[in-house]
Chains A and B, each alone.
Chain A
């Protein structure tokens, strides 16, 4: 069994080392990967470093070293490892994607965009490259382009809540509420605890006048995470507005009830505190 594994890894991972060393390297790679997956990052790093001493052009080891550095917040070293991989093997899209992400981390969106575009030239089915380009366009509030790229990411296989969530936001910015609702529901189908999606879905309903539905959704978000500030702010805002409207039409009982609810979600809400004090004085 062991032999089979060694031979198989040999095909995929090693570049130019003798067969005798190959077996050792494969053992090392397996050991290092195992440590990496167990979260023993420093130990894994040491062994991968041994691998590249024996086989300096080992792409997999170099990529893993880059990843390990990124996980340990040594981002500039990580960048160097990924750059090295691309020098050795220009079609290593994994390294290129990471270079793009690290460029974004340094706010170099133009260069990052070029990196992701180069990935798509090598691999027109790379979901990550489409996703990150979609994200960059989204941040530029170029919503149509963002939607086009996020959709492409989905088409080639990136079916995750974040992609749906970002699509939903882009749709909302274009007042395409049905598409926004659909994407948020898809995000929530994949992860029912995706709070960001619940928060936005609340507004989709609220802006259509479905206040109760919106409130129920934000409360659901708080059941998942009681400290979610977004959901709290949303609920506080809506309850405060309801209270103010009731107060202005003379319905003090309702107003008090809603301001008390406002304080449940934002204990320092200035509006609710002021009016409740004022009503109490009377």
Chain B
């Protein structure tokens, strides 16, 4: 069979090496290996280990010797040592089926703990890291159990600069409403909860590409991404506010239309490639993570929409989902608010008032603050 033939060849190979090297030493790795093999066959495993340990000292790159040693340890149920011997074989010959199989067999069950390594001297960065950990980590409360945590929030005022977003009949521009409401929201959030950290994708009237907005959210490792927008329609009649979150498919035709408008000219990334004959655990984790963020985004959207609907004199158009580029790439739950229709003359009038914008911001902030008390 494959194994015995290959091993036999190997034996021949190592015997040649041993003949050469055996001239100088009293006993060569090969001789010791044969002794070890004999002990193994007789069930004298401790003796086998003793000679084989000597043998691998003489010939540390001889996979045959390591394989025998692995078997001897395995018989004595020293699984940690058996494992590292078989791993050594694989490092010398990655195609050794037997050792790979033995590793798989051993790895099914618990292993005794690894011996602790001696501590090395700390590098300057390690010292700084340790000091930082003592300073910051100790102060943090531990919270066990599941439930999404929000401490860092990125506020994203939609459009800006040469991209004015939707424009009302009386020339009110969406970009300015978005920025003003977002800034007010931040102010109120900070006022009520100083533990929250707020970041912006833009703080003034300049254009920020969609890709840069999500990049900002990832740059700061945010826990929540809130995009501020105002809706528009060719028809002057539609009015009210709605909240979006990200999902693979749009929840309705209208949701798809809004996503198309906000996505602008960007093409979505292609779906991830799946490799055949191989389970990519990190890919499973990536998809799990993204779905969890989308699910949490859905919950946040519902909470916010119901908070807004209680407070505001705007028609409740509900929660929808669609594939927004700006939401998709974020490594956190993300939502997109459409706070009224700028194309509706009555709502344009409301949106142009500072008092009303403050009211909007207050409701959004209140909704975000309330998230601290619910399980997402």
Q: Of A93, A156, A173, A175, which is within 8 A of B223 by CB? A: A173
Q: Does A72 contact B (CB under 8 A)?
A: yes
Distance of A270 Cα from B140 Cα, bound (Å): 42
Q: Of B97, B107, B281, B288, which is within 8 A of A107 by CB? A: B288
Q: Does B12 contact A (CB under 8 A)?
A: no
Given contacts A30-B97, A144-B140, contact A91 B109 (CB under 8 A): yes
Nearest B-chain residue to A12, judged by Cβ: B105
Stretch from A16-24, A135-143, A249-257 at the B interface:
A135-143
Q: Does B26 contact A (CB under 8 A)?
A: no
Shortest CB-to-CB span from A259 to chain B, Å, is 12
- Which residues of chain A in 20-41 are interfacial with respect to chain B, using CB atoms and an 8 Å cutoff? 29-30, 33-34, 37, 39, 41
Residues of A within 8 A of B293 (CB): 139
- Which residues of chain B in 151-190 are interfacial with respect to chain A, using CB atoms and an 8 Å cutoff? 151-152, 161-163
Given contacts A33-B100, A125-B113, A135-B285, contact A266 B332 (CB under 8 A): no
Assess the A93–B209 pair: CB atoms within 8 A.
Answer: no
Given contacts A94-B107, A122-B110, contact A274 B207 (CB under 8 A): yes
Q: Does A207 contact B (CB under 8 A)?
A: yes
Q: Of A29, A91, A233, A270, which is within 8 A of B163 by CB? A: A270
Shortest CB-to-CB span from A134 to chain B, Å, is 11
Q: Of B3, B108, B216, which is within 8 A of A60 by CB? A: B108
Assess the B136–A185 pair: CB atoms within 8 A.
Answer: no
Distance of A142 Cα from B219 Cα, bound (Å): 18
Q: Does B195 contact A (CB under 8 A)?
A: no
Q: Does A51 contact B (CB under 8 A)?
A: no
Q: Does A264 contact B (CB under 8 A)?
A: no
Shortest CB-to-CB span from A14 to chain B, Å, is 11
Shortest CB-to-CB span from A43 to chain B, Å, is 12
Residues of B within 8 A of A101 (CB): 281, 284
Query: What interface size band does chain B fall in?
Result: 35 or more
Chain A contact residues, majority secondary structure: helix
Q: Does A64 contact B (CB under 8 A)?
A: yes
Q: Of B71, B108, B150, B221, which is within 8 A of A94 by CB? A: B108
Q: Of B40, B41, B265, B292, which is within 8 A of A109 by CB? A: B292
Q: Does A226 contact B (CB under 8 A)?
A: no
Assess the A181–B206 pair: CB atoms within 8 A.
Answer: no
Shortest CB-to-CB span from A233 to chain B, Å, is 5
Assess the A33–B143 pair: CB atoms within 8 A.
Answer: no
Given contacts A109-B292, A140-B149, contact A2 B1 (CB under 8 A): yes
Distance of A59 Cα from B109 Cα, bound (Å): 11
Distance of A30 Cα from B105 Cα, bound (Å): 11
Given contacts A4-B41, A34-B97, A94-B107, contact A233 B74 (CB under 8 A): no
Distance of A71 Cα from B71 Cα, bound (Å): 29
* Chain A interface, number of residues (Cβ within 8 angstroms): 86
- As a 0/1 sequence over residues 175 to 190 of chain A, the CB contacts with chain B under 8 angstroms (1 = contact) are 1111101100100000
Q: Does A113 contact B (CB under 8 A)?
A: yes
Assess the B149–A136 pair: CB atoms within 8 A.
Answer: no
Stretch from B15-23, B121-129, B345-353 at the A interface:
B121-129
Assess the B101–A179 pair: CB atoms within 8 A.
Answer: no
Given contacts A178-B128, A179-B133, A271-B207, contact A156 B114 (CB under 8 A): yes
Distance of A205 Cα from B215 Cα, bound (Å): 15
Given contacts A93-B108, A173-B221, A240-B212, contact A140 B98 (CB under 8 A): no
Q: Does B208 contact A (CB under 8 A)?
A: yes
What are 9 A-B contacts with C-beta separation under 8 Å?
A11-B74, A104-B285, A123-B111, A135-B285, A142-B147, A145-B142, A173-B151, A266-B209, A269-B211
Chain A residues proximal to chain B, CB less than 8 Å: 1-5, 8-9, 11-13, 29-30, 33-34, 37, 39, 41, 59-60, 63-64, 67, 70-73, 91-95, 101, 104-105, 107, 109-110, 113, 122-123, 125-126, 135-136, 139-145, 147-148, 156-157, 162, 169, 172-179, 181-182, 185, 203, 206-207, 229-230, 233-234, 236-237, 240-241, 244, 266, 268-271, 274
Chain B residues proximal to chain A, CB less than 8 Å: 1-4, 7-8, 37, 40-41, 71, 74-75, 95, 97-98, 100-102, 104-114, 125-126, 128-129, 131-133, 136-137, 140-144, 146-152, 161-163, 206-209, 211-212, 214-216, 218-221, 223, 264-266, 269, 274, 277-279, 281-282, 284-285, 287-289, 291-293, 295, 329, 332
